[in-house]
Chain A
Amino acid sequence: METYYNPEDLQKFSTISEGAPELWKKFGEWYGAVFAEGALSEREKALIALAVAHAVQCPYCIDAYTQACLEKGSNKEQMTEAVHVAAAIKGGAALVHGVQMKNAAEKVGL
């Protein structure tokens, strides 16, 4: 069945370089530097990436960073907590906008 998301398409990511190779090269270097060990460990960065992947609902990123988290030594408990952090922020972000709803309702109300 055709679908917009095919797992094998992840392997084609680098074909994005076609047409803008310099930009791809810069992206690759920057991306690599971002995930290198720094003030945060590679494991912490992978967990952040996993949480963000869920927040932006990118199946490629979820696939890649589930694997990356496991390969950095995280376990399912830790990864599930990371996903809950993403869900809490997304849910909280939706809910806190309820204040805007209240403000708008207040403004048009008598």
Chain B
Amino acid sequence: MSDVKELCEKTGSAAPVRLKGEIENRFDDALAKAGLHPLTAEGVSVFQVNMGSVCNQACRHCHVSAGPDRVEAMSESVADECLSLIEANRFAVVDITGGAPEMNPSFRRFVSMAAVSGSHVKTRTNLTVLLGEGFEDLPSFLADNKVEIVASLPYYLKEIVDRQRGAGVFERSIEAIKRLNAAGYGVDGSGLELNLVYNPCGAYLPPGQRSIEADFRRELAKRHGVVFTGLFTITNMPVGRFKDFLESSGNLTRYMDRLIGLFNPDAARNVMCRTTVSVGYDGSLYDCDFNQMMGLKCGFGAPDHISRFDVSALGKRRIVTGEHCFGCTAGPGSSCTGAVA
């Protein structure tokens, strides 16, 4: 620690402060060495709403540990409070996530009202939910509301996708993409964005975004005749079900060493939490969806619930960090919209 303190003095950074109960936070040390400590927000341009952990899938890497057995779901009243904040603050982006947010009873009302707020609205989907009974019209509903779709498809091969996301998921995902394409999503000139999300199927980091995007585009077109707008590469965070996998497979130490060894100050400068506020199903506020899953609410005196939402205070809040944050700063970095550096 003494060398870190010395560097903090030289760079003018504050010395790392440990979270309550946290013995060691090497992420704060890394920030301090890069002259970036403490990490602070730079406004709130992305309002990310997690509508709950209910999902029709139970993927092995899921940081939310979402699944059919989960019961947490955003209530109508919390959704209404979020909509009031969206109308009042006109965030550049409203980002809807879950679980499978489509399974929340308030989803359609939330989307249609957010869509008229002037914000760019995007929703994250696991794709297969779109084939379920009662959800078949979602592609046209989302298209009518000009909503961007961010869809999970970790690879272009069935074996890899099914291993991570469950048997039969790949074929159903392709069917869902075909339906989205039919509604205009991902088709040049339609103005309807369909962005796919790659994440590694194991304890390793993602490839270069542009390189793997070219593979996806070529292979998905050739093998399945489907198209998409872009591809985001996302690093698996050592949180939730993926952390359980790392621990049970004996990969945790090596994975963390890899993330830490590849700490990139440029990625740290551009981490998404600096411009995002993440809302939990019960209205609690977090710096990001990962902190949300770890129960780390906005701290250091910043509002931690939508009932106390203050865009000015949140826009300059200090970010709550932990060792999991290395997942967003390794190599080219990672965010809900892919690489950041």
Q: Which of B155, B159, B204 contacts A67 (CB 8 A)?
A: B204
Instruction: Tell me, in angstroms, the Cα distance from A73 to B159 when the chains sit together.
Output: 15
Instruction: Tell me, in angstroms, the Cα distance from A67 to B211 when the chains sit together.
Output: 17
> Are B205 and A75 in contact, with the CB atoms below 8 A?
no
Write out the residue numbers on chain B whose beta carbons fall within 8 Å of the beta carbon of A70: 200, 202, 204
> Are A71 and B205 in contact, with the CB atoms below 8 A?
yes
Instruction: Please tell me the number of chain B residues within 8 Å of chain A, measured between CB atoms.
Output: 15
Determine if B247 is an interface residue (Cβ-Cβ < 8 Å).
Answer: no
Q: Which of A11, A71, A75, A76 contacts B206 (CB 8 A)?
A: A71
Determine if B212 is an interface residue (Cβ-Cβ < 8 Å).
Answer: yes
Q: Which of A11, A43, A76, A77 contacts B211 (CB 8 A)?
A: A43
Known: A43-B207, A67-B204. A73 touches B212 (CB 8 A): yes
> Are B207 and A73 in contact, with the CB atoms below 8 A?
yes
> Are A41 and B206 in contact, with the CB atoms below 8 A?
no
Instruction: Tell me, in angstroms, the Cα distance from A11 to B204 when the chains sit together.
Output: 17
Interface size class, chain A: 10 to 19
Instruction: Tell me, in angstroms, the Cα distance from A75 to B155 when the chains sit together.
Output: 9
Shortest A42–chain B CB gap in Å is 8
Write out the residue numbers on chain A whose beta carbons fall within 8 Å of the beta carbon of B257: 11
Q: Report A62-76 CB contacts with B as 1/0, cut-off 8 Å.
A: 000001001111011
Instruction: Tell me, in angstroms, the Cα distance from A67 to B251 when the chains sit together.
Output: 12
Write out the residue numbers on chain A whose beta carbons fall within 8 Å of the beta carbon of B159: 76
Shortest B222–chain A CB gap in Å is 15
Instruction: Tell me, in angstroms, the Cα distance from A67 to B204 when the chains sit together.
Output: 7
Report the nearest A residue to B214, measured CB to CB: A73
Within 8 A of A (CB), among B124-179: 155, 157, 159-160
Write out the residue numbers on chain B whose beta carbons fall within 8 Å of the beta carbon of A71: 200, 204-207
Chain A facing B: main interface SS: helix
Instruction: Tell me, in angstroms, the Cα distance from A11 to B200 when the chains sit together.
Output: 23
Report the nearest B residue to A63, measured CB to CB: B254
Q: Report B173-212 CB contacts with A as 1/0, cut-off 8 Å.
A: 0000000000000000000000000001010111110011
Determine if B215 is an interface residue (Cβ-Cβ < 8 Å).
Answer: yes
Instruction: Tell me, in angstroms, the Cα distance from A6 to B157 when the chains sit together.
Output: 34
Instruction: Tell me, in angstroms, the Cα distance from A41 to B211 when the chains sit together.
Output: 10
Within 8 A of A (CB), among B201-235: 202, 204-208, 211-212, 215
Shortest A60–chain B CB gap in Å is 14
Instruction: Tell me, in angstroms, the Cα distance from A13 to B212 when the chains sit together.
Output: 30
Write out the residue numbers on chain A whose beta carbons fall within 8 Å of the beta carbon of B206: 71
> Are B204 and A73 in contact, with the CB atoms below 8 A?
no
Report the nearest B residue to A41, measured CB to CB: B211
> Are B202 and A73 in contact, with the CB atoms below 8 A?
no
Report the nearest B residue to A75, measured CB to CB: B157
Shortest A66–chain B CB gap in Å is 9
Write out the residue numbers on chain B whose beta carbons fall within 8 Å of the beta carbon of A67: 204
Instruction: Tell me, in angstroms, the Cα distance from A67 to B261 when the chains sit together.
Output: 15
Shortest A47–chain B CB gap in Å is 13
Report the nearest A residue to B156, measured CB to CB: A75
Write out the residue numbers on chain A whose beta carbons fall within 8 Å of the beta carbon of B207: 43, 71-73
Write out the residue numbers on chain A whose beta carbons fall within 8 Å of the beta carbon of B155: 75
Instruction: Tell me, in angstroms, the Cα distance from A76 to B211 when the chains sit together.
Output: 17
Report the nearest A residue to B261, measured CB to CB: A11
Instruction: Tell me, in angstroms, the Cα distance from A67 to B202 when the chains sit together.
Output: 10
Instruction: Tell me, in angstroms, the Cα distance from A10 to B247 when the chains sit together.
Output: 21
Q: Report B57-99 CB contacts with A as 1/0, cut-off 8 Å.
A: 0000000000000000000000000000000000000000000
Q: Chain B interface (Cβ within 8 Å of chain A)?
A: 155, 157, 159-160, 200, 202, 204-208, 211-212, 215, 257
Q: Chain A interface (Cβ within 8 Å of chain B)?
A: 11, 41-43, 67, 70-73, 75-77
The 5 closest A-B pairs by CB, nearest first: A73-B207, A73-B212, A70-B204, A71-B205, A72-B207
Q: A42-B208, A72-B207 are in contact. List 16 more A-B contacts (CB 8 A).
A: A11-B257, A41-B211, A43-B207, A70-B200, A70-B204, A71-B200, A71-B204, A71-B205, A71-B206, A71-B207, A72-B211, A73-B207, A73-B211, A73-B212, A73-B215, A77-B157
Sample of 12 A–B contacts (CB below 8 Å)? A43-B211, A67-B204, A70-B200, A71-B200, A72-B207, A72-B208, A73-B207, A73-B208, A73-B211, A73-B212, A73-B215, A75-B155
